Structure 1
Amino acid sequence: MPVFKKDFLMTNLVETTNITLLSSFSPDFLASNNEFVYTVQKVRPVSDVCYVPLEMNGHLAGYLAIGRAGLHTPKYSPNEVKVFSWLAGFLNNGYCRTLKGGPVCGRTALLDAAGRVLQRGAEIDAVFAEIFGANAREFPSGGKMYSSRRFASWYRVNLHGESPVGDFVFHKGDKTYRLVFRRFDADPVRLYFPREPQAEIVLADRNPIDSIPPEASHTPRYDLTLREEEIVQCIFRGLSNRYIAFSLGISPETVKRHVYNIFKKCDVRSRTELVMKLAVSSF
């Protein structure tokens, strides 16, 4: 490894982001890097090597290395280098297509690793403006309002968490908005490229508390408060206390206190027992 860290071909590629040929270096330069050249030739003798950069969004994503086997074979010609360049572009474009999201509908937005909006529909754009402010509609995580700080924490937890999906609930006056998070499944290298979609945010059709039919509400039967009923719906969806706290904009300690009160009112000792009891009582 200490020898391969001296790969001057890769160093030149990174510094210039241009195609790099072994045959383009002078004999004196190669002599001064004899340790690396000797080690490479010992592993697999080649007459020439071509490093072609792979780029994404203007950033170097990697390289395609092509070597001509045998010490006495011809060096690469300009036409061959053009073919390698076209091949690298073809592979690079194909890989980019697997990462980028397609056209978005009115309720959908695509965000990068920092939480910046790359694409958005008109409907969710209006909601972002209302929730986070007009100046933060393109960067909800960077706004100055409390809602932006909540969103930034929730987005970060979902982007790096175990679950690829999550919910964000925000109350604005008499309105309640529910945003559903879905992390893209792709090569982990996606995270390292700026302006590359990392996740999809969708404005849900209904509020969390509306997702359960009115007749299934447990508020009158067990004397649950509106907040306790919201937490019950989150428990039904399998959310942990941490996710419930981020979704409802309250602290984990407050969630624990509400869960304790729900257990006491419903006379249960676990979430499983709560779900089973309330599911049966709904029919």
Structure 2
Amino acid sequence: MAQIKRIPQTFLALVEESLSADLIDPGENKRFVDGLTHRKVLPWTVIAQAYDGRYGIQPDGRTMTRTEEGGAFIVGANTWMTIVHHAAAKGGIMKGRWVHIHFSVFGSFDYLSFFDLPLTVNASIGTAAGAIIIEMLSDPYTDTASPFPRIARKKARAFRLLDLITQAAPFRSERAGFLRHARHLGPALAFVKTKMGTHFEAKDIADAAGLSVSHLHALFKKHLGVTPMDHVRDVRLSEARYRIVAERDTLADIAQRTGFSDQFHLSRAFKEKYGISPSDFRRQHDASM
């Protein structure tokens, strides 16, 4: 935590001001077959707890690990992973619950990328996360005359989960530089998110950030690891991938709303980055964990 304390409070305040919970999607399955294995990548973070049995989890580049009884795994966005379901008794049934969740700062930057994910967590944290997921699953949609209290509860639960994650996951020290330059990077990222569905150039992003194009390029390469326009492509693809699995809109509609010239442009870019066509991705997507 020492690196966090060295970051000027002014910049932490900018992060706090823009932090939002953009996706909160809980689920549960009480009938996972022992040994069921699947491989997937998601455009959001997943927290999954096995409450009868265990998960085996292997993010790409890591070894396979098992959650302990009542424990959970947390895997960040855009991370390929292999998931194995282990029943308590061989040949039995495993039960698990999960939540797909996404937090952003400055409109388009994944807040949880500040932290060292993926990781498995112990039963204490897993049980606490599971209890919050149960609350999410059991909160009725029409329990009051007004829908607004439920919206408040939903957001509050999301931030309780964020509290658990950020206590368990170490801060990535290399992100400290990003926060120090938040005064410029923040407006640039917010511009990309807001204008995602329109045509613009790197100069437009630089103007929004109050920087020259060369300075903007240098900041993006140093602190995000990509050029400004590569970041634009990634944001558009991430949004398109979310819409492909969360909505039933046509690919043409999704392409238009995410800044691609047409569905063929989207399909080419999507397959180049993810190795699968948008149509096949939609067909293969399984919301269960």
User: Higher relative contact order at CA 8 Å, sep ≥6: structure 1 or structure 2?
Assistant: 2
* TM-score scaled by length of structure 2: 0.27
Looking at CA atoms only, which structure, 1 or 2, has the larger radius of gyration?
1
* TM-score scaled by length of structure 1: 0.27
